[in-house]
Structures are given as structure tokens and as C-alpha cells.
Amino acid sequence: MEYRKILSTTAMKKMKNEKEPIAMVTAYDYPSAKLAEEAQADIIFVGDSLGMVVLGYDSTIPVTMDDMIHHTKAVARGAKNSFVLTDMPFLSYHGSIDHTLRNAARIMQEGSPKAVKMEGGIEISESMSSCVKAGIPVMGHIGLTPQAVNQLGGYRVQGRQPEQAKKLIEDAKALEQAGAFAVVLEMVPEELASYITETISIPTIGIGAGRGCDGQVLVFHDLLQYASPIQPKFVKAYKNVGLEIKNGIEQFVQETKNQTFPSESHVFHMDSDVLKDILDV
Ligand SMILES: Nc1nc(=O)c2c([nH]1)NC[C@@H]1CN(c3ccc(C(=O)N[C@@H](CCC(=O)O)C(=O)O)cc3)CN21
Ligand SMILES: CC(C)C(=O)C(=O)O
Ligand SMILES: [Mg+2]
């Protein structure tokens, strides 16, 4: 892979202004990060969705700081020339500012991503600005915030009601004020996401938020159909990797059972004189 300039948060703002879309994709380990980098994703994102797609939990709530750091380390090794972003997990940026800063510091020092992401609006703006003041670039995330699934009552579209819509607009402005370099809009009606995109100066990255956002993000396992436990309406399946993997393993199992694997090309031999010596003993 030839040298590639790692995107900066300033360059992302320039992309918004020049209407060059930002493509972000999740990655959770060395191979997914390597492939995402080779595919020239602008942002390689270690989402806490890893809890659901690679650890098998049924929400992102059980995901820990150690989980996020462990996976970020692998991604950072696989995508050395990319802007790596890491989700702060459930309740790691709540409570005291000290607690938030300690956790953000751990992620930056141990995982070495370029930035972190936090879910929430006005409520977390102080936590966010404390990190920004400490020199950590932070991305916001509003609309459907999966860490609040138990309060939201499911993974539903957010902002269809006037009060909800107004709150989302205020949240987006608050995050911009708090120093966010970009904001994810998740499961927000296209009309509202487009309005927010026009209203704030930082890039919006949509997931189920329509065509007006400054960029798009999808989960690796969703866009590749790689055994993802969920298939939301906003997902476009570009490949069926899961089927390919299953077929490959099925063939291996069959060939082992009918003894067509291994064949001559997969085995090692030894010198026939040596063999004779041994057998003669
Ligand atoms: N694999 C995966 N992809 C994601 O996009 C994702 C995760 N995991 N985990 C964390 C959150 C949770 N997300 C989700 C989870 C479920 C739906 C879902 O079931 N949506 C349905 C129902 C919509 C509705 O009721 O309004 C859909 O058809 O989109 C959407 C987003 C998005 N994030
Ligand atoms: C759905 C995206 C934005 C996310 O936060 C994740 O993958 O964890
Ligand atoms: Mg997340």
C-alpha cells in the first residue's frame, strides 16, 4: 500500500465545505482494518457495535473500556495510515469530568486512535468540551443513541415529533459549541438530517439519516453481510461475505470427510533413504 495522508479534522471540515462526501466504516480487528484502509475509507471506526457484531451481546451496553481498547489496538495495527476513531463505551463519559478524562486518556494512550466518539446531546456537552480542551478530537452522535436503548424503548427513528426534532437541532448546535469536529446522525428523518447539516458548520455523518448528510457510515458486518445479527432498513448489502465464508467451510468439512483434502499439493514428504533407515530399525 502506497503512502496515504491521514485525514485531519480540519480536512474533514474542508470536505464538508467542498461537498466531498466522507466515507466512514467500522472495523474491529486487524484484517477488517487493513481491508478498510486498502478500500480507502476516510475514517475507520471502532464502534461499540463490536459488542453486537463480534462479541454476540444483544446491545452495546455490556461493552467495556477494556473491550474498546483491545479492539482499537488491533485496528490501529491494521490501519496505520488511516484516521482511526473509537467509541467511548457505556457510561465511560458520564459522572465526573475527572472520570471522563481518565477514560478518554486511557483510550488515546492505550488504543492510540486519532479521536473518540460520544453519544448524546446537551447532557454530555460539558464532558465533550473537557476532552476537547485537553486536546482530544471528539465526534458527537445524536438521534438513535444505542447506549440509551432502554430509555428509547428500541432501535427506532428519532426526531419525527416536533419536540424531538427541536431537541435534535439544539443538541447538534450544542455539540458544535462544545467543540465536536463532526457528528453522527443515526436514524433521523432525511429532511431533519439535511436541515441540521445545513445549520451547523461541522460535518454530519449519517447512518439511516438520508442523502443530505456530509458523509455516511455503515457497520462492516452489515454492508458485507458478514453474519450480522441485524439488518436495518438503512443498510445496503454490497457483498455476501457470510455466504462465501459458510460455503468455504462447508467444502472443507465435506472434503475432509470424503478424504479429497489434503491432496498431494498440501503434504510434505521425506527422503526415501531416510525413511528406509527408520523402517528397517
Ligand atoms: N450490526 C449493527 N449495525 C448497526 O447499525 C448497529 C449495531 N449493529 N449496533 C449498534 C447500533 C444499533 N443499531 C440498530 C439496531 C437495530 C435497528 C433496527 O432494528 N431497525 C429496524 C426497525 C426500525 C423501526 O422500528 O423504526 C429497521 O428496519 O431499520 C436499527 C439500528 C445501529 N447500530
Ligand atoms: C452505528 C455507529 C455509528 C456506531 O456508533 C457503532 O457502530 O458503534
Ligand atoms: Mg456506537
Q: What parts of the chain have a pLDDT lower than 50?
A: 1
Nearest-5° Cα angle at 204, 210 to 118: 115
Question: CA-CA distance, 196 to 191, in Å (whole number)?
Answer: 9
ipTM of the complex: 0.96
**In angstroms, what CA-CA distances link 185 with 79, 92, 168?**
25, 21, 9
176 catalytic residue (yes or no):
no
Say whether 48 counts as a known binding-site residue: yes
| CB-ligand 1 contact for 147 (6 Å cutoff) | no
The pTM of the full predicted model, rounded to 2 decimals, is: 0.96
- Is 87 annotated in a binding site? The answer is yes
Q: Which three cell numbers stand for residue 252?
A: 472443507
Ligand 2 atom at minimal distance to the Cα of residue 119: 5
Which residue ranges form the domains of the chain, and what is each CATH number?
Answer: 9-239 (3.20.20.60), 244-280 (no CATH)
Which amino acid is residue 128, in one-letter code? M
The predicted structure's pLDDT at residue 281 = 65
pLDDT at residue 278 in the model: 92
Task: Give tens-digit pLDDT for 60-75.
Answer: 999 999 999 999 999 9
Catalytic residue among 186, 191, 198, 255: 186
In this structure, which residue's CA is closest to atom 26 in ligand 1? 156
32 dihedral zone (left: phi>0; alpha: psi -120 to 50; beta): alpha
156: Cβ below 6 Å to ligand 1? Answer: yes
State the Cα–Cα distance between residues 186 and 184, nearest whole angstrom: 6
Rounded to whole angstroms, how far apart are CA atoms 233 and 262? Answer: 43
DSSP character string of 8-54: -HHHHHHHHHTT--EEEEE--SHHHHHHHHHTT-SEEEE-TTHHHHT
119 marked ligand binding residue: yes
* Closest residue to atom 7 of ligand 2, CA basis: 47
pLDDT for 93-109, tens place per residue?
A: 999 999 999 999 999 99
Q: Are 86 and 116 in contact (CB under 8 A)?
A: yes
Q: 87 CA to middle of ligand 3, Å?
A: 6
Distance separating alpha carbons of residues 113 and 76, to the nearest angstrom: 7
